[in-house]
Chain A
């Protein structure tokens, strides 16, 4: 359930957050604020999916196989 909650955050951030950040200044890393906000969430999605991958028991059971296929 916690994992699903994590996964919902980006939807909230991107879809519901956008009306509050729809401006140019201040520029972040040279980008308009609203663009930087979306970029931030894209990066956070990667981080969140990484955390989910780690915590998800489905992936732990098969960790041994993963090592085999990689080698």
Chain B
């Protein structure tokens, strides 16, 4: 048994132990299990929200993107920071409404705001459709990380099963508290590892950052700036704007808003979280360092650049530490997604559609029973999904962004939008996303007469634009006739 394997195993066992311990002293009512009894302070809320950024996608994908594509990777740094500006004004009213109505999930929020369980069901289905591929991505990443850093001692398939079992156990027992406790360990470890790698590798291989970027620029001219076509400046602008709007629309991120114990936490976090984003910069540096040192990775293999470079640089025990950090980047977001998807199915699909009078206790019980079911579906997709899952994943972000217009309107003091408008808008937007993604359409193909810059605009804008048009038109047509009719928002107080 290599030293790397020992360290990875120790980190995994510790994560399980901590996840189970997190329950201590709390009876798992629905509010406890889903939103930690709305008792989390600044640090936990901070880590849960930051946890969304530091997933396997950033760890493997961020470095891989820098390695394979170059400059376009910069967009990851930009969109989160802009989303945090919005969060200062957007999250406090969401939190206040959730607290007053004792909400436990994102579809719950929509259902109450628009006084429509059907809308809740639609939002839940859109959410689950986006979450499952996201969970699959975490498990796939986990498999790659463990197989690579254990030097092949543990196959990717066994790693996926073990990882899924660990998160299933602690999510059933502790709910969101397990994720919160583990996020403390995860962020500490990842912070240390990424800062070290991002500083050490460029200096070790190139003598410094300037030397590294000069070398890359000389070897691959144009790699470090946005190209004139494809992932161009127009692509950057449109993608950053779209993803910034969608940032808080992920069901598990939205749910983590509810865990806060007061609303000032969000305003305070809005100034610290952007700085925390800068850690991503060091992930990029690792990917850039790999460009000239482990050349030749193609296709999906670009995601391995961080580990390939680490394997040829460090002793096995340190590879184990990197692997351990990588395992946590999969387990923590994975557990939040699992928790969220089960809550959506139990609270919003089951109670919203099938059995309106189900008690909180019954919903909690069902949600906990659904955890292993969702996990198994994700494992099946991970091991046998093939390429379809990639298409689903591309849709995920665009799917959740469709919830933005209806959410923002619902925060207005007097919401003129109707439930029919919200329902049709989201449905239209999601349909456009599905069609354009599955058919691999781009703006250039749809509108060949446009100037080049406009052809690179993210196709997601079409979906969002249609969503907003349908939302406004249907809302206008379905305005309540009698002005005295109570609106959903009057329930708040």
Contact = CB atoms under 8 A, between A and B. Distances in A.
Contact of A52 (B88, B233, B262): B88
Describe A's contact surface by its main secondary structure: helix
B77 interface: yes
A24 B215 CA distance: 12
Q: Which of B82, B209, B268 has the most A CB atoms < 10 Å from its CB?
A: B82
Contacts of B277: 42
- Tier of interface size on chain B: 35 or more
A16 B225 CA distance: 16
Given A14-B82, A45-B81, A32 B224 contact: yes
B315 interface: no
Given A42-B277, A49-B270, A24 B209 contact: no
Interface string A33-56: 011001101110110111011001
Nearest to B77: A38
B262 A69 contact: yes
B474 to A, nearest CB: 29
Q: Which of B77, B271, B275 has the most A CB atoms < 10 Å from its CB?
A: B271
Contacts, number: 106
B82 A34 contact: no
Given A7-B85, A39-B281, A45-B81, A23 B225 contact: yes
Contact of B271 (A15, A38, A49): A49
A71 interface: no
A58 B88 CA distance: 12
A1 interface: no
B217 interface: yes
B214 A27 contact: yes
Contacts of B81: 10, 14, 41-42, 45
Contact of A34 (B225, B237, B270): B225
Contacts of B268: 53
Contacts of A29: 209
A45 B240 contact: no
A15 B275 contact: no
B241 interface: yes
A19 interface: yes
Interface in B263-309: 264, 267-268, 270-272, 274-275, 277-278, 281, 284
B451 to A, nearest CB: 14
- Tier of interface size on chain A: 35 or more
B74 interface: yes
A53 B267 contact: yes
B225 A24 contact: yes
A24 to B, nearest CB: 5
A32 to B, nearest CB: 4
Interface string B317-357: 00000000000000000000000000000000000000000
A19 B233 contact: yes
Contacts of B214: 27
A38 B209 contact: no
A17 to B, nearest CB: 10
A49 B41 CA distance: 20
B290 to A, nearest CB: 17
Nearest to A47: B271
Interface in B1-56: 41
A49 B78 contact: no
A29 to B, nearest CB: 7
B210 to A, nearest CB: 4
B426 to A, nearest CB: 25
Interface of A: 7, 10-11, 14-16, 18-19, 22-24, 27, 29-32, 34-35, 38-39, 41-43, 45-46, 48-50, 52-53, 56, 58-59, 62, 65-66, 69
For the complex of A and B, the 8 pairs showing the least CB-CB separation, nearest first, are A30-B209, A49-B271, A32-B224, A30-B210, A45-B274, A50-B271, A46-B274, A49-B270
Given A34-B224, A42-B278, 7 more contacts: A14-B240, A22-B225, A22-B226, A34-B74, A41-B81, A62-B264, A65-B262
13 contacts: A10-B81, A10-B85, A14-B78, A16-B237, A19-B233, A32-B213, A38-B78, A41-B81, A42-B81, A42-B278, A53-B88, A53-B267, A58-B267
